[in-house]
């Protein structure tokens, strides 16, 4: 994204919408760099590029069946 990093966007989403918007972060930076930060910021899941499309579908299915928390 040209104007904001994905982790900054995730932080803003969580600040304003709490956990009402579940987020799956997909990044080429890897689990060691971005994955831990994304999960610390409240991402539902982290997938590393290149990612397995079936794994993405599995995470989306889990995410939509998981009750939202937060205010």
Q: Tens digit of pLDDT for each residue in 18-45?
A: 777 888 988 887 777 777 888 888 888 9
Global pTM reads 0.76
* Residue at 42 is within a domain: yes
Instruction: Band the pLDDT of 60: cuts 50, 70, 90.
Output: very high
- Residues 48-62: what's their mean pLDDT? 93
- What's the whole-number average pLDDT of the chain? 83
Instruction: Please give the tally of structural domains in the chain.
Output: 1
Is the pLDDT at 71 greater than 60, yes or no? no
* Residue at 46 is within a domain: yes
* Residue at 1 is within a domain: no
In this structure, the number of other CB atoms found within 10 A of the CB of residue 23 comes to 19
* Residue at 29 is within a domain: yes
Give the long-range contacts of residues 54-60, CB within 8 A, separation 24 or more.
56/24, 56/26, 59/24, 60/24
């Amino acid at each position: 994204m040209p104007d904001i990093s994905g982790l900054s966007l995730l932080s803003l989403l969580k600040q304003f919408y709490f956990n009402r918007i579940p987020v799956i972060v997909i990044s080429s930076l890897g689990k060691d760099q971005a994955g831990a930060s994304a999960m610390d910021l409240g991402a539902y899941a982290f997938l590393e590029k290149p990612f397995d499309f079936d794994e993405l579908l599995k995470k989306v299915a889990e995410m939509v069946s998981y009750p939202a928390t937060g205010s």
